[in-house]
Each structure stands twice: as structure tokens, then as C-alpha cells.
Amino acid sequence: MGHVQPELNLSPKVSDEVRKTTCYMCACRCGINVHMKGGKVAYIEGNRDHPVNQGVLCAKGSAGIMQHNAPSRLRAPLKRVGPRGSGEFEEISWDEALEIATGWLKPIRDTNPEKLAFFTGRDQSQSFTSFWAQNFGTPNYAAHGGFCSVNMAAAGIYTMGGAFWEFGQPDWDHTKLFMLFGVAEDHDSNPIKMGIGKIKARGVKIIGVNPIRTGYNAVADDWVGITPGTDGLFILAIVHELLKAGKIDLDYLARFTNAPVLVNGDPKSPEHGLFLRDDDGKPLVIDRVTGKLTPFDKPGVKPDLAASHRHAGITHRPVMHLLAERYLDAQYAPENLGKSCGVSAQRIKRIAAEIARVAFDEAIEIDQEWTDFRGETHAKMVGRPVSFHAMRGISAHSNGFQTCRALHVLQILLGAVEVPGGFRFKPPYPKPATAHPKPHCKVTPGAPLDGPHLGFTHGPEDLCLKDDGSPARIDKAYTWENPMSSHGLMHMVISNAYAGDPYKIDTLFMYMANMSWNSSMNTSGVMKMLTDTDENGDYVIPRIIYSDAYSSEMVAYADLILPDTTYLERHDCISLLDRPICEADAAADAIRWPVVEPDRDVRGFQSVLCELGAKLNLPGFVNEDGSQKYADYADYITNHQRRPGVGPLAGWRMGENGLTEGRGDVNEGQLDSYIANGGFWTSHVPDEGLYYKPWNKAYQDWAVKIGLYDAPAPYIFQLYVEPMRKFQLAAEGHGDRQPPDHLRDRIKATLDPLPIWYAPFEDDRVDTEEFSIHALTQRPMAMYHSWGTQNAWLRQIHGRNPMYVPTKLWEAHGFKTGDWAKVTSAHGAIIVPVAHMAALNENTIWTWNAIGKRKGAWALDKDAPEATKGFLLNHLIHELLPPKGDGLRWANSDPVTGQAAWFDLRVKIEKVDAPDETKPSAPPIKSPVGQGPDELRWKVET
Amino acid sequence: MTQLPKTTERKMGLVIDLDTCVGCHACVVSCKGWNTENYGAPLSDQDPYGSNPSGTFLNRIHSYEVQPESGPAQLIHFPKSCLHCEDAPCVTVCPTGASYKRVEDGIVLVNESDCIGCGLCAWACPYGARELDRAEGVMKKCTLCVDRIYNENLPEEDRVPACVRTCPSNARHFGDLGDPDSEVSQLVAERGGMDLMPEQDTKPVNKYLPPRPKDMLNDGPREEIDILAPLLAPVVEEPKGFLGWLDKTLEKL
């Protein structure tokens, strides 16, 4: 047959219309173009103009059409009619649903608001949900940061006024060495992939530090397959090498950090370890020019890193002395780490040398004048082009806070933060811990809480304790158990409420938090706590209200379901008051808007809160005449003002002479302006403000202008975190507010104001010879939490999650392809399929997170591989440490922040005969939405 | 059987960078979305919420572990789709003329109205790059988004395959590999771009850029260290000495 070509239409019509909104398939918040045909969603691609993703889009985002149309979408409000956990519901009207909720919540508010615990899994409307909870008056509010990565966030903010996460980024255009620690690939994932692409194109080296070599670590030029929980040791060994070689940026340390700040060195003093301050409370340094004590921020001061000061018989030494003494000590020498972190001394030295070479021999300069907060003008911007990024891998350990701190101290010693080629903050950061609120917990029946729930403590006086010293919050956040728990402890809420420790609650109200499945430690235990009854036959946790868009595992455990919309059917704001979408060069925020209307009887959760708030007569949600203040969330987004002129959205506000940005009055057309602009707003940082932001006058002035701060707030980086020392002093017996005796030693040991490393707590409680293997989870790039499995396209990519076993263990146990293993921890056992993986730390096994599903959930067939072969590692991890015999409930959490220590887990493994399905296997729950169709041929015709 | 054109005017194709591909599957799903909605029959899915979900994909990512003689194992992410071969055996084996290679740009396509779903082309392709759609009964394959790359309804910058437009790490490049001056040809020249399975004599148009050498900062012999990363020379050996060094160094600032 000869060559024959048919005629093709090379320019088919793509769509009727493109509607631009914001993705919701993970925490990235990329801009998307939703192509519409005949009023239906036909195709989703990245928005090229958008600051976050610049046109690209990941697998999850591109599969949004399957998420939006998933058969697991809830259809109407539900009232439980069977026992909890059965999944038996009846559909009810919204009027009835809101009447039930009001009937439960109003008496609580009138008598004792702490009886409501309100926690949100998705935390992208946190400034709104916290506003609601604050007006309700309960102290029991937080989002999911406590079981996610609060160590990373809190360590970053306490140390340098900003964190990694999506709150900062490497200077991708200038960096010459990028080092990545234990990353979770779901935060800032497209920007990180784009950045990796950029630096790879320039041939820049990437060093990946992760027990598992997948994803970003697979493309790293050098891979450090570190032992889980030992990153802090590795980092401090690098610090040791750099100090010993004098490869630190002394000029930067003197100008921009508390390295020169003087510290009380008298062990007998009640101020031992605290800063020497002037009468205004300003930390003091010695000026190299005058040799005199001087406030750190005085114009013209040249802070001295070397001189100490003796006053009233007490020697005060600069932080730099304490730091050098600690890390030059031989215990931090690479040679002395032994095999504990799984990296040889030689390799640590080579990596330290490479970091030093790039930082100091390849320093870069940008010809850009700038003026610092002391009034000194600099002709150039000088940079140390070494950049770092880290996330949950180093964070989710009981030593995570100190490890994250260690990494930031390393960055700062190099002078590689907020400089060209280093790590850069994104607005509203930099913002030091002192500029954030403190936590509030004062409950008054029938009235709002006395202030915002979450914030940063600076000493014992800021803890959330009742007058009798007991915890004010159900999750025991901001108590002596975890005094700096800036995100709360969502993972302890159900456990504590069940135990009545510190007190019982009446109603648990949760939003998008799959607590009876992948979002809890000790999943089977949590199911029992949610269904257990007291001696009267009543549920121990009396009432549960839950809002979700989908038929998740948690739905079955609630008494009342408030069905949410999909992300294409709702209003949202990605706000500067919350977790915005800024880039290092620009402030930016964004919206979601209903590009299609729901075809079910569902409502956006935030709109429901507006109505519920009005029914409960919450201040902030009612007008003076008692009528509902915000008709829905869109109305709130447009009309709410947090401070005069500052609302949820910064773009297109109303100024005296027309439209303005940042500060301005309400503009009724604001959302239309966002929609016309593609769903987002940006405002560029002036060129002279692009680097050195915490100290840069031009940046600070710009930040005030657009409403990030009310006055310039320059500060210095906290190598030494004084608030930690204040908690230690209390533990040593100083001050009025004293910790219970059983916590004194732990506080003294772990709240060290300079980073330390200690072994993960689980190591002290289990036999590490018997449980010699570390077990981890990672989330695949193409899935997000539990959502992906309902997605017909994504579940074909990640429908199974074997336990990956490294070569040494694979061979030692005689595993073969298709084998199963029993994996046992001190807490429980699971029986799961195994697979061999060579690119893995030799003592670590791992699996993909949250692929495993409960039978009957997510509109999947009961024989879905996610339910029969998939599994959760959560069954092996308890929210409490193994009992010590002292009768106390010790949380399996970081002692500073309360972060859930997921990755401290130790296990043993043995080969077993293949069962029918993974164990444990929970019985099926009845699906409130039926099951998905047998075939998809998803073409939207016009 | 079906003839190939003697020559094509251009050799449009993909250059895929295995040093940069993080294995995120963005290209896989973007391709699925565009080609479900566009060229020919939708890419169907069978048992999509059931025990054995399967569907038609025109582009898939495979991951391979590599264990070098020394040093740690590596993981390579390997995206695979039709390579639009110059000597495409899938075309010559086609009994109906449904499979063909375009003269203008070398893209290999299936004319679905002539395809009888016999599957010979899938057997003939050494790369396993064709998939029979079980709902439609026709052969599906990468079209290099022929309905995007010339599409006047799209902005000019979007006239690239969906997988290239969406790739977050910029590991996928599109262009004329017949033009030695094109950006893709230059990238292939600079980075040592390779043919997949050249011994099959299919002359694939698509090229792969190999991963760069890895793990150079490992425990090598001493000589190697000095070349690659001289170790840091200490200025001090103990904390007291450090403070003296500090003072001296500060004087120079």
C-alpha cells in the first residue's frame, strides 16, 4: 500500500471558554486554566501567567477533572442513623442540618465553650476558621500543623523569622549548590521541580539527604542515604568542620544575627543564659569602634563577636563564644559520630568542604545598592550561593525541632540566608516570632476567646495553663509537655478527649481531616475511641460533626455530615493573612471561584460557617441588629477587614483616588477584578529590597506600604533562642510558673537554646536490637493524602503500596518477588506485601503514604487493591510512647513543639505466608454514595 | 502492508532529559487529559473504581534501579511514548494503511477510521509504545499533539505537546531534530543524546539525554579527594584557639 495521508484538522476548537482559578489538589496552589465546553469542565492546564507554577502543572493538577467528577462526592447533608462507624446515614435538608448543629453548639457556647473542639485538616482558610473559633470562644482550635511539620515552621520562625515550606525558596537563578533534606514532595512541589529544572540546566550540583532515593533524590548528583533521625548529627558535624576551618561569614554574623549579643554566664544567676539588655529591653553588644556596651540596632554600631563583658561580678559572653565552644567540641567531629548516621567521616568532610568552597570561593555580587536598618548603605549585594531546603523528613521526629534549628544555624553561619544565591523568604516573611501573636486561651461563657489561639510563646508566662496549672487546651498545646507548640497538636485531640485528659468535651467538629484513617497515629485505636461508649451506653466523645467533600473513611464516624463542594465549585482566598502564594520577588494572593455550580445539595464549608456563626449569634458574624453579617464566604472575602484597610485579599482595594493595593477600603468588585486577572494578584518587591529583607530599609518600607506590617520591624537572626533558655530556667527552679517535677529533666535536656542532637525518644523505650529497622512513609508526587485514590487516573499510577525493603534485609530474610512480611513495632503488627529496593538506607524500610483504603470508602469496589493489598503504616505508630510505668501518658511527640514523631518508628520484619489480604483489615463501611461506574470514556462534547 | 514516506520535511520529536526527570507523572496525566478530550476516540478506562483498574495511556513513566559497580544504587525515571521512528515498523506492518508517517513533520499517526484494531503494529513496535483502546477497539498512540502544535486557536507559545507544556522540571523538549541548528539538536549534541535501542534499526526521532555522573562526593581513594574537593584546612584545633582566630580575623573586616 502506498503512502496515503488523510486530511487532518490541525486547528480544532479547543474550548468555548477558559476560566482561571486556583488548583486544590495539594498545598501548592498553582494557577489553572479550566477549559469549558458546553458549560462543563473539559480540560485543565497550568496558567502561564501565574506566579507559582508559570504554566506547568503536576499529575494531580492535570487529573483535577477526575477529582471534580469523582463518584465519591457527597451529595447532601447526612444524619447518622446506624451505629457510629457503620456508614448508615439518611440524607437531610440543610435547614435540618444547621438546626441540629446549632442545637448542639449553642448550649456549649452559653455554658462552657471549651467543650467544643474545632480542628481543620486542610488549613488554607485558617485565618477564617480561626476567626470563627475565636468568636465562638473555645480555646480548642488548630489546623493540622502539629502532625505535619510544625517543627520546620516553628524552628524557622524562632531562628530566622521564616521557614522553608512554601514560605521561602532557594535563589534558583543564582544558587551554585543546592542541598535538600528529607523532603516531602507535596509542599511547593511544582516550584521545587521548576527550580531543580533551572539549576540542572545550569549544571548546578544537588546534594540529597534522605534515607530513600526517589523523586528529587533520584536526580540529586550526590545522595546521602542517612539513617532516619540522625540528620541533626550530620548537620552539626558539618558545622564543626566549618568552624574549625574558619569557613563562616563573620561580617554577616556580626551585623545580622545575635552572634555578638552578650549572654549572662553566671550559673547562679536567675538570668543565667539570658541576654544582657538595656533599660528598653534591647539586647546589648559591644561596639568594636567604641568598645562600649551598645544596643544591637544602634546606627553605626559595629558589633563585636569576640569581646566579653564583665559587670557586677558576672561575665557576659557573646553568643559566638558559646556557639564555638559547643560545636568545636570533639563530640561533633565527624570521626566521633561512629556509624550512627550511616555516613562516613570522610564523606561528611568532603561535603563540608564542597559547601565551604562554593560559599566562599564562588561568592557572587549583584550591583544593587541597599540600606540596612542601622542606616548604613551598601554598594553591592553579596551572596554565598549555597541553598538548602527541607521538610517533613527531618521534622517528624522527637528531635525534629532541634534538627531543623541546626540546619538553620548552618545556613546562617554560612551567611546564606536572604542573600543572592542563598535561601530567600517570601512575603509575608520575614517576620520574627516576636511579631507574631502569642497564644490565647481565656474562656468566657457566651463570649469570644481573649485573642488568637495560635502563636509563639516567649517564656513560661505565655503558656496556655489554667489557674490550677492544668492544660487549658484539649490537645495540651503550649504546656510544659511542649511549650512552643505553635500549631497545636491535632494528633492528640481524639486521644485526649477519649481519655478525658485534661478534660472531657461534648462536640468534636472537624473539617477535611481523615482522623479514622490516614491522618491519625494508631488508626485502629482511634476507630475504637470514636465508637466506644460509657457506662450509660453513650458515646465517650458525645457528638461529632464533620465536613468533607468526599466519602472518606472519617464520614462513617460522624453524627452529622456537612457536605463541602469540589474545588471548582467554591470561593476561597489564598490570603496574605494566612498561607499566601507569594514569591521571593513579589507579594501575591489568589482566589478560587465557582467555575461551575454544584449539581448536588452541597455548600462550601466556609459559607456554612458564615451561616452557622450567625445562628449562634457570634460577634463578627452578625450585624448590630442580629442579622447574618456575611451571606457567604465570597461576601466575607470581600467585606471582612482584619485591621482597618487590611482584608483577606490585598489586590484591587479601594483607595482615596480609585483602586489601590495592599491597604485600602472594601471594593465590592474585588472578586471580579481577581477573576479578570486570572484569579490572582501580585505586587513586586522594589529592586533594592529584593535581598537582606529582615534588615533592608527598602523592603521594610514596602512591607508597611502594602500592609504586611504596620511599622518597619527589622530584627536579627536568633542563633541562640532565648525563650528556650527561659523554659530551662523554670525547670531549674527559677520563676513563679514551675513545670511539674516529672518534666524538669526533659525540659533542661531538650530546650537547649543552641541546637543539640539527642536520639529519638522511641529509641529509649524499645529494644533497638530487637527493633533494629527504621520504617518510614513518603507521599508520591502524583497523590495527595488520601484523595488520590478516588481519582480514576491517579490510582492507575499509584494503586498499590508495597513495603520497600533494602538489599541487605531482602537477602537476610530470603525474600522473593511476591512475598509478604509481618512488620512489628512495639505497638502493633501489620502483614503486607514486600518489594526489593536497592537505592535505600540499609536499615530502613518504607512505603507510600495513604494509598491503603478502607473497604467501602471513596466509592471504590470492596476488592480494590487499595483495600486488599494497600495498607497504612499508621497501625504501627502510637500517639503515645510505650508506658514507662509511671501512669502518665507520654505523647509520641517533639518535646518542644509537640510535633507528631511519625518517623521515629522502629520495627522488626519477618517473612510470612501470603494472606488473602493485608492485615489488619477493618470491616467494610457502607458507602453513602454507592460505587463508581465500570467504564469511563470521558469526552465532553460541545 | 503500508509504505513509509521516503523522506520527511522535518523530524519533529521530543528530547527527554533523564538527568532531570523526577518521575512526577505530570506528563502522563496531562497527555491523558488532552488526548481524552481531543484527537480521535477518548482514552478510556476500564474498571476505574474497581479491583483491576486499567486504561489507555499514550505516555507512561517507568522507574529502573541501577546498581553501579561501586557507589550506591541509583533510580532512573524513564518516560516512554512513541519515538516517531524514521523506519517505523509499526507503519510498515499495518494491513490497512491506518498507521502512517506524515511527510510534513514525520509524526506517526493512526487514522482511526481505517484501524481494524488487529494489534499488529503494537507487536511490531519494539518499544511497546502503542495501546489498543478497549472501549473503542482502535489503536492509540502519541500524536505528538498534532492537534496542538499547529493549532491557531491556541496562543503561539502553547503550540507544543501537552506533556512538554506541563513538565514542571523542564525535562521534556520539543523541536525539529532534522535541523542541526535547532535548540533540541544542540541540546542532543551538548549532552550526548542517545537513541533508544539503536540495534533495532528503527531510527527513532526522539532522543534521551543520559543522567550525569553521580555520587562524586563519596568515599573515594585519597588522591581523588584532592581533585574533587580538597578537605578543609583547620585554622584552629580547639575552642580557645578559635577565639584568638576570631579576634584576628575580625580586625581585617
- Name residue B187's amino acid: L
Between B33, B167, B171, which is nearest A65 by CB? B33
Q: Does B208 touch chain A (CB under 8 A)?
A: no
In this prediction, residue A52 carries a pLDDT of: 96
Between B2, B54, B225, which is nearest A796 by CB? B54
Residue numbers of B between 9 and 68 with CB closer than 8 Å to A: 17, 19-26, 28-30, 32-34, 36-38, 41-42, 44-55, 57, 63, 65, 67
**Minimum CA–CA partner of B97 in chain A:** A1
Which residues from chain A sit within 8 angstroms of residue B88, using beta carbons?
none
Residue A415's domain is classified under what CATH number?
Answer: 3.40.228.10
Q: Is A827 part of any domain?
A: yes
* B67 Cα to chain A: minimum distance (Å): 8
Q: Does B212 touch chain A (CB under 8 A)?
A: yes
Do the Cβ atoms of A3 and B243 come within 8 Å?
Answer: no
Q: Which domains does chain B have, with CATH numbers?
A: 12-209 (3.30.70.20), 222-252 (no CATH)
> What is the rounded distance in angstroms from the CA atom of residue A257 to the CA atom of residue A259?
5
> What is the rounded distance in angstroms from the CA atom of residue A752 to the CA atom of residue A744?
13
Those residues with Cβ within 8 angstroms of residue A719's Cβ, 6 or more apart along the chain or in another chain = A159, A253, A257, A258, A259, A319, A323, A409, A412, A413, A754
Between B21, B53, B214, which is nearest A221 by CB? B214
Query: What is the SS3 assignment for A520?
Result: coil
Helix axes A400-413, A150-160, angle to 10 degrees: 40
**Which triple of cell numbers denotes residue A629?**
453579617
**Which triple of cell numbers denotes residue A560?**
452529622
Q: Does A268 touch chain B (CB under 8 A)?
A: no
Has this prediction a pTM greater than 0.95?
A: yes
Q: What proportions of chain A, in percent to the nearest 5, are helix, strand and coil?
A: 30, 20, 50
Burial class (CB within 10 angstroms; exposed 0-12, middle 13-18, buried 19+) of A798:
buried
Do the Cβ atoms of B236 and A790 come within 8 Å?
Answer: no
Query: What is the SS3 assignment for A671?
Result: helix
Contact (Cβ atoms closer than 8 angstroms) between residue A253 and residue A305: yes
* B50 Cα to chain A: minimum distance (Å): 5
The closest of B2, B237, B171, B21 to A328, measured between CA atoms, is: B237
Q: Is A588 part of any domain?
A: no
Domain range for A830 is: 761-912
Tens digits of residue pLDDT in A31-53: 999 999 999 999 999 999 999 99
Residue A795's domain is classified under what CATH number?
Answer: 2.40.40.20
**Minimum CA–CA partner of A190 in chain B:** B168
Torsion angle in degrees (nearest 10) through CA of A188, A192, A194, A198: 150
In this prediction, residue B221 carries a pLDDT of: 53
Query: How many residues does the structure list for chain B?
Result: 253
Q: Is A274 part of any domain?
A: yes
CA distances from A333 to A181, A336, A400 (A): 21, 5, 21
Which residues from chain A sit within 8 angstroms of residue B101, using beta carbons?
3
> What is the rounded distance in angstroms from the CA atom of residue B131 to the CA atom of residue B34?
16
> What is the rounded distance in angstroms from the CA atom of residue A59 to the CA atom of residue B47?
20
Between B136, B152, B170, which is nearest A201 by CB? B170
Q: Report ipTM (2 d.p.).
A: 0.96
Torsion angle in degrees (nearest 10) through CA of A820, A823, A829, A833: -30
* B99 Cα to chain A: minimum distance (Å): 9
Contact (Cβ atoms closer than 8 angstroms) between residue A65 and residue A24: no
What is the mean pLDDT of each successive set of 10 residues along chain A, which is 942 residues long?
Answer: 86 97 93 97 98 97 97 98 96 98 98 98 88 98 91 97 92 98 84 97 97 96 97 98 96 98 97 97 96 96 94 94 95 90 94 97 97 97 97 94 98 98 97 97 98 98 97 98 97 97 98 94 96 97 97 97 97 94 96 98 98 98 97 98 96 96 97 98 97 98 94 96 98 97 98 97 94 95 84 95 97 98 97 98 96 96 96 96 90 97 97 97 95 96 76
Helix axes A319-328, B239-252, angle to 10 degrees: 130
A contact test, residue of B22, B74, B156 with most A CBs within 10 A: B22
In this prediction, residue B222 carries a pLDDT of: 46
Residue labelled with grid coordinates 541562640: A720
Between A58, A795, A936, which is nearest B44 by CB? A936
Where do the H-state alpha helices sit in A54-209? 59-62, 64-68, 94-111, 126-136, 150-160, 189-201
Q: Is A47 part of any domain?
A: no
Q: Does B200 touch chain A (CB under 8 A)?
A: no
Between A198, A214, A797, which is nearest B28 by CB? A797
| Pairing of the two strands A658-660 and A572-574 | unpaired
**How many folded domains does chain A comprise?**
2
* B123 Cα to chain A: minimum distance (Å): 20
* A294 Cα to chain B: minimum distance (Å): 18
| Pairing of the two strands B12-17 and B207-209 | parallel
Vertex A180: Cα angle to A174 and A181 (nearest 5): 155
Query: What is the SS3 assignment for B29?
Result: helix
Q: Is A640 part of any domain?
A: no
Do the Cβ atoms of A58 and B26 come within 8 Å?
Answer: yes
Q: Is A63 part of any domain?
A: no
Q: Does A7 touch chain B (CB under 8 A)?
A: no
Do the Cβ atoms of A57 and B30 come within 8 Å?
Answer: yes
Which runs of E-coded beta strand occur in A123-246?
Answer: 141-142, 168-170, 177-181, 205-209, 222-224
Q: Does A56 touch chain B (CB under 8 A)?
A: yes
Strand partners, A178: A206, A387
Q: Does B156 touch chain A (CB under 8 A)?
A: no
What is the mean pLDDT of each successive set of 10 residues along chain B, which is 253 residues long?
Answer: 93 98 98 97 98 98 93 96 98 97 98 97 97 98 98 98 98 98 98 97 98 85 51 80 85 76
The closest of A512, A546, A555 to A858, measured between CA atoms, is: A555
Which residues from chain A sit within 8 angstroms of residue B21, using beta carbons?
219
**Minimum CA–CA partner of A303 in chain B:** B250
3-state secondary structure A42-58: EEEEECCCCCCCCCCCC
Query: How many residues does the structure list for chain A?
Result: 942
Q: Is A307 part of any domain?
A: yes
Half-sphere exposure of A630 (CA within 13 A, CB side): 24
Q: Does A285 touch chain B (CB under 8 A)?
A: no
Contact (Cβ atoms closer than 8 angstroms) between residue A181 and residue A390: yes
Among A425, A446, A462, where does a domain finish? A425
Tens digits of residue pLDDT in A115-132: 999 999 877 799 999 999
In this prediction, residue A931 carries a pLDDT of: 95
* B30 Cα to chain A: minimum distance (Å): 5
Where do the H-state alpha helices sit in A799-907? 807-812, 865-868
Q: Does A221 touch chain B (CB under 8 A)?
A: yes
Q: Does B173 touch chain A (CB under 8 A)?
A: no
Those residues with Cβ within 8 angstroms of residue A21's Cβ, 6 or more apart along the chain or in another chain = A31, A32, A34, A567, A568, A591, A592, A593, A595, A679
Query: Which string of b and e fits A600-621 if b means at least 16 CB within 10 Å?
Result: eebbbbbbbbbbbbbbbebebb
Q: Is A387 part of any domain?
A: yes
